[in-house]
Structure 1
Amino acid sequence: MRMTRRLWLAFAVCVAPAAACLGGAKGEGLLEALRKHAIVETDVMVPMRDGVKLATDIARPKADGAKFPVILMRTPYRKNLGGASGALLGGYAFASQDVRGRYNSEGDHRPFLDDPNDAFDTIAWFAAQPWCDGNVGMTGGSYVGFTQLAAAMTRPPALRCIAPSVPPSDFENGVVFYGGTIRQELVQGWLIGQAGSSQRVQRKEVPAEELQKWQPHRNFMEWCWHLPLSDPGPLALGGQGYVDCWLNGVNNWEKPGSWRQVSAVQRAEDIQVPTLIVAGFYDIFAQENLDLLLALRARGGSDLARKHSHIVIGPWPHGIGGPAGDLAFPAAGRALGPLQPTWLARWLKGQPNDADKWPPIRAYIMGQDRWLDTDTWPPAASRPMRFYLAAGKLAPEPPKADQPPSAFTYDPAKPVPTLGGTNLIIPKGMKDHRKNAERPDVLSFLTELLDNDLAVVGRLRAHLFVSSSAPDTDFTAMLLDVRPDGYRGNIQDGIVRCRYREGRATPKLLKPGEIVQVEIDLWSTAYTFKKGHRIGLHVSSSNFPRFDRNLNVAHPPATWTQPQAAHNKVHHDPAHPSFIELSVLP
């Protein structure tokens, strides 16, 4: 019976964000069902330090004089009590709150910026309630996961633990920027979606259709072509907060640090509570979630944070448990069931259990269909392996003879289209790249057929010697599994903007024909290439709209409008040994 309770609690808490669409009869039906067994309050207006009040729904067990720990979720996606049933069954109170300026809460919505202080004040309010035992924990995914990190960075005295799933945790190196580019489909697409449900739209103060036509399911791809990037366009209809969030990215392209206050990876020393992260290798925040775990283990703000922070990272996109494009590992999801109930019992109720013995990292190895427990990333048993680029080939040894570079022309008016990957609003996960491989602006490099299975587990990086006719251009790298039937499935990919090859704070334009070395971070994976397959590498200069297009000009990226073609080369001779480095298990 106890395990049944735990599993139901895990399910109920995990699906609470998905229940955000509950409304009308369904919403009322849920509330009526809860009221049979709980005290339910809706739209409780919790005061913040500046007088703004945030709408909060609360459900707590019916028990006169009893006190309970609180499970709190703070969301921009409409509060609901979808996770309350399981929480109540486990002996917790459950609360869901609209963040500032969203749905029923007061104030202006400024994505991410107000969540630290608001979370601190909300937790303090709950700890002071006569029915609360003074212990508060937080759960939820994506932005709801971020609100937990935002809370933890302010060190609320009553916060005991957090369990963020796929949370944005490094805005400087993953959420907004990647390799010097802006993650256009993620940032722009998400903001347009949020502006479409803004309070201005709900109050009919602006024409909703003007925002709706640019939504991801309609004409978003058309807006991606719009220049300059500094034009917020439809975001203005949502309100100034949505505009400022976009401009904080494009206007601070060369000013690293503008996002530090909300970047948990950079502020790990401020987090003092045990942290359980659930992540996916095909998720939009995959690498920064791994980086967050490593940062907490190394420099968390307390012994508890350093010793009791964990990550479970599986074969999932931004939608934990679901298929990643053409990849599906349904058995992997079964490991999630007992995680949160065990975690909450340990840190909200003080019940010793298996959580004390969890490894820092538990990673699912795709292709072996098993979980790997490790204290380090990459695992200590792994070793680096290099494959060197040659004409159409990936070889285990560096080139010994001179050979001409591989060349192509990149036209920003005809960029390589994004096919899968770590995306949010466009198709994600693994897709077949045979069509892209046929393009003249995509260079393809393949190994010989593998004699044995090869488990690649860890960080992936491409080190390329490149040159261009343009003062600036991008180079992309994509690792692929090339199957015997010809299918080319993307494992991970990355990009570098050449002017920012030494960092966004130190732009350095190219000289025509000058050979420079660039490093492309492809993030991490845990994937097994099967015997008889080939390892593939695609190199190009665009992956659009996953990343914004480089127009190959010297003007600042935020304001450029006039593109020009670039003649780009990848060099792979003895003096310029370009290679990709993998981390492999024996």
Structure 2
Amino acid sequence: MKKHFLIFLLSCLIINVNAQKFYFPKAYYADSISLSKNIPNLAKQVLKFYKEADQSVYQDNAFRLRIVAQQYDEALKSIEIYRSLQKSSDAKSNGAIGGQFEVFIRTKIRQQQTKESFVVAFKPTFAAKQKTLNANSKLMFEEYFEINLNNIKNTLKNLLENISSDSLNLTVARQICRAYNSANVYANILPIGKPILLAEEKRDFIINDSINIKTREGILISAIIVRNKKAMLKQPTILIFSIYNQSQDKNRAKLAALNGYVGVIAYTRGKKTSPHEIEPFEHDAHDAYEMIDWISKQPWSNGQVGMYGGSYLGFAQWAATKKIHPALKTIVPQVSVGIGVDYPMENNVFMSYMLQWIHYVHNSKETDFVDFGNFEHWYATFYKYYREGKAFRTLDTLEGRPNQIFQRWLKHPSYDSYWQNMRASKEDFAKINIPVLTITGFYDDDQLGARHYYEQHQQFNPKANHYFVIGPYNHGGAQGHPSSELRGYTIDSVANIDISVLVFDWFDFILKGKPQPSLLKNKINYQVMGSNKWKHEASMAKMNNDTLNLYLSAKTSGEEFLLTTNKGASTTFIPQIVDFTNRADSLQTIPGEEEILSDSLNPPNLANSLVFTTQAFQKSFDINGALVGNLSLSINKKDMDVLMNLYEYTADKKYHWLGHYLTRASYTKNRSERQLLIPNQKENIPINNAFFTSKRIGTGSKLVIVLGPHKSPHWQVNYGTGKDVSDETMQDAQVPLEVKWFTDSIIKIPIYKF
């Protein structure tokens, strides 16, 4: 009831705010002159009424409104407040945020003081701003001048054409002012700023941005090469091997050049100017070797190559270690895709997102941001598949574009040789003796992949020189600048580090003999959320001094079942029935979406799940690592997908999501070989590849586990027939799934007691 009341109250507030009307007849925007004359007053009126609970969002809009209102001093103050709310660890990098708008404002202020033209006033203002920025933030600042002005103008044009009344509500008025600000600022600064930056680029760098490199087999690999003109000697090379052909790539190569390296961006086969078929993942091991070989023979190379990058780029580095070229001296894989492990399937459960991603990289030789970002289309497709109970294999035809790569991947639901051959084998891992720095996050979608490579390297090469860094970062944050807030949690100040600085400090350490990065005090470096401290251990095994053993209990406390430290009887169970023909939950919170739960009265109540909770803890302790254990259960079918979410429920009645475990029951004993369950027979389902976290659990907190069969539009639906899950449909779900969760199920949580 409380949720419904809050939603009703919020809607009333929105209605009341938007009830304010702003007179803005068509004559005010009939042409550009009329618009520029009348819109400052509109912005002033909007500022009187505009409010936001989130100060970051408010200041982001406020400084733009104040520019339009020609309140330049106040706009500068809003930009500074907005930057401070981003909480970057690097003040100079932070200064690049909104830098293009700052230059425009300061140019306008200078004009007022000197009566100079905009062009004359702009140049010294632009130069002064550049001097305040370090190498990384300067490149970030330069990217603002790569904006497509026509797209910005069209956004404003579309907003104005859709006005149907002489009166605007607050939301529409704010949107129009914001769009006008962008169009006006960029129309003024791009014609002046871009030529300056191009001249500086020609002055400082030697750039080959469309080179094709031929392998010994005649394959053409497209690449960008950037060298610093000031470099007199041969240099090490930093290589990024990527499938994402995008405008900022040249700047990534320039960043390497500014840090004392040759920067090379090489693209996977078929991308940019390469004429071949685009086949993600399949040829990267071979092509990366060829690229490194070519680099090592260039007159500007000193024979040393380092690689870095995140997600697919992290995978590409591990592919390059399948056969290590002698010139490859180190890799820094960030948030690495674990092919066949966490993408395109997580613990053997295929994800709907894989089709969206395939089009992202496969539609053209560029990167199709427009198609990828059409979330309304993609979510409509996923939900249509789910509501209608279609076979997962038909998702591409349902979307309207049959796709051979999607179908190819679905032929390999096991972690078989198709996936294994794309990356290092155990024999290859045993030979990886170069230093490695792995970076990932507690909230990284590819954390399982990053950990998989680390664990394989440790298992097959006990002397591996491998450092591991993990903190409260998501997929993007672990590749650059961490988000200060994730799912309602404000990260500790010590966690707010610049990942790019760490990466280049590592390269300087390995390739130039400079000091080891100060964060890397041991092989395992992890930030304990809630402690404001980093901890450092020689191995993951040494992160904890105890294990919290929890058992499912049939006893209840209110609507929740208990998690106890006492093992239950092997014959006692909690029954659960799930109707897989019922798709009403497609309108509710879907398990696995990892949304923050912040209701202060009610526990997590996710569809098709049971909630288990401990008693409140009397002493604080740390959780460091991933939960393991064993689920004892029986079902009336041959298979099911299991989802477990772990939360801390604090003494002040807030939920903090700590991680999840998603798996296909028939693959838990061996991800390479499916072993179907025997209907109505008690089975043991190992918990062996859950998400890793590190969090201080406070006094008075409880641990909450939300457990149940997995059923979501964003993943395959496993109906339990034992057939290939991609071929199952809702017709296979006429008999509801019956689960017995036995109370000898054990969940082991690694902890550190003080």
Give the TM-score range, shorter chain: 0.7 to 0.9
Higher helix share: 2
Amino acid at match of 1:291: H
* Residues paired across the two proteins, number: 561
What does 1:358-373 align with in structure 2 at a 5 Å threshold?
358-373=521-536
Aligned to 2:394: 231
Answer yes or no: is 1:326 the counterpart of 2:488.
yes
Question: SS of the counterpart of 1:475?
Answer: strand
1:224-279 alpha-carbon deviations (Å, 9 max, x no partner): 5373223362699989xx633x3343212246332112234754235342111110
Aligned to 2:720: 552
1:34-89 alpha-carbon deviations (Å, 9 max, x no partner): 22212122201221233232222222121485322211212222152222443233
Aligned to 2:740: 570
Structure 1 counterpart of 2:207, from 34, 40, 52: 40
Structure 2 counterpart of 1:279, from 427, 440, 448: 440
- CA change 1:508–1:402 in 2 (3 A) is closer
Amino acid at match of 1:166: V
Question: SS of the counterpart of 1:463?
Answer: strand
Larger radius of gyration: 2
Answer yes or no: is 1:316 the counterpart of 2:473.
yes
Check the 8 A contact 1:481/1:490 in 2, yes or no: yes
Answer yes or no: is 1:262 the counterpart of 2:428.
no
Structure 1: distance between partners of 2:273 and 2:492: 37
Check the 8 A contact 1:496/1:519 in 2, yes or no: no
1:444-481 alpha-carbon deviations (Å, 9 max, x no partner): 11111121223111221242221222233233222111
Structure 2: distance between partners of 1:412 and 1:163: 46
- CA change 1:440–1:147 in 2 (3 A) is closer
Question: SS of the counterpart of 1:83?
Answer: helix
Aligned to 2:68: none
- CA change 1:471–1:159 in 2 (3 A) is closer
Structure 1: distance between partners of 2:433 and 2:376: 39
Deviates more, 1:401-410 or 1:385-394: 401-410
- CA change 1:294–1:166 in 2 (3 A) is same
- CA change 1:146–1:500 in 2 (3 A) is closer
Aligned to 2:220: 53
What does 1:24-39 align with in structure 2 at a 5 Å threshold?
31-39=198-206
Amino acid at match of 2:335: V
Question: SS of the counterpart of 1:342?
Answer: helix
> Shift of residue 293 of structure 1?
2.2
Answer yes or no: is 1:529 the counterpart of 2:697.
yes
> Shift of residue 395 of structure 1?
0.8
Check the 8 A contact 2:355/2:396 in 1, yes or no: no
Amino acid at match of 2:236: P
Structure 1: distance between partners of 2:139 and 2:661: 30
- CA change 1:429–1:405 in 2 (3 A) is closer
- CA change 1:142–1:98 in 2 (3 A) is same
Deviates more, 1:145-154 or 1:28-37: 28-37
> Shift of residue 416 of structure 1?
6.0
Aligned to 2:114: none
Structure 2: distance between partners of 1:401 and 1:472: 21
Question: SS of the counterpart of 1:535?
Answer: strand
Amino acid at match of 1:157: P
Structure 1: distance between partners of 2:590 and 2:134: 33
Question: SS of the counterpart of 2:319?
Answer: helix
Structure 1 counterpart of 2:669, from 486, 502, 505: 502
> Shift of residue 435 of structure 1?
8.0
Structure 2: distance between partners of 1:530 and 1:315: 17
- CA change 1:532–1:65 in 2 (3 A) is closer
Residue identity (%):
20
**RCO higher in structure (CA 8 A, sep ≥6):** 1
> Shift of residue 151 of structure 1?
1.9
Q: Gaps spanning 5+ residues in structure 1: where?
A: 203-207
1:500-544 alpha-carbon deviations (Å, 9 max, x no partner): 343355434444432212123423211222222211111110152
Amino acid at match of 1:370: K
Check the 8 A contact 1:210/1:234 in 2, yes or no: no
Answer yes or no: is 1:249 the counterpart of 2:413.
no
Structure 2: distance between partners of 1:13 and 1:378: 42
> Shift of residue 409 of structure 1?
2.2
Check the 8 A contact 2:306/2:507 in 1, yes or no: yes
Check the 8 A contact 2:717/2:725 in 1, yes or no: no
Structure 1: distance between partners of 2:538 and 2:685: 30
Question: SS of the counterpart of 1:259?
Answer: helix
Deviates more, 1:455-464 or 1:185-194: 185-194
1:270-328 alpha-carbon deviations (Å, 9 max, x no partner): 53421111101111221332232233244349x6xx12x21111111111212432223
Check the 8 A contact 1:19/1:82 in 2, yes or no: no
Aligned to 2:269: 100
Deviates more, 1:355-364 or 1:533-542: 355-364
- CA change 1:416–1:442 in 2 (3 A) is farther
Amino acid at match of 2:311: S
Structure 2 counterpart of 1:198, from 358, 361, 364: 364
Amino acid at match of 1:279: T
Check the 8 A contact 2:608/2:708 in 1, yes or no: yes
Amino acid at match of 1:117: H
What does 1:369-384 align with in structure 2 at a 5 Å threshold?
369-384=532-547
Aligned to 1:205: none
Check the 8 A contact 1:98/1:104 in 2, yes or no: no
CA RMSD of aligned residues (A): 3.9
Check the 8 A contact 2:492/2:529 in 1, yes or no: no
Check the 8 A contact 1:432/1:487 in 2, yes or no: yes
> Shift of residue 192 of structure 1?
3.5
Amino acid at match of 1:111: P
Structure 2 counterpart of 1:71, from 225, 238, 263: 238
Deviates more, 1:435-444 or 1:383-392: 435-444
Question: SS of the counterpart of 1:36?
Answer: helix
Structure 2: distance between partners of 1:143 and 1:325: 24
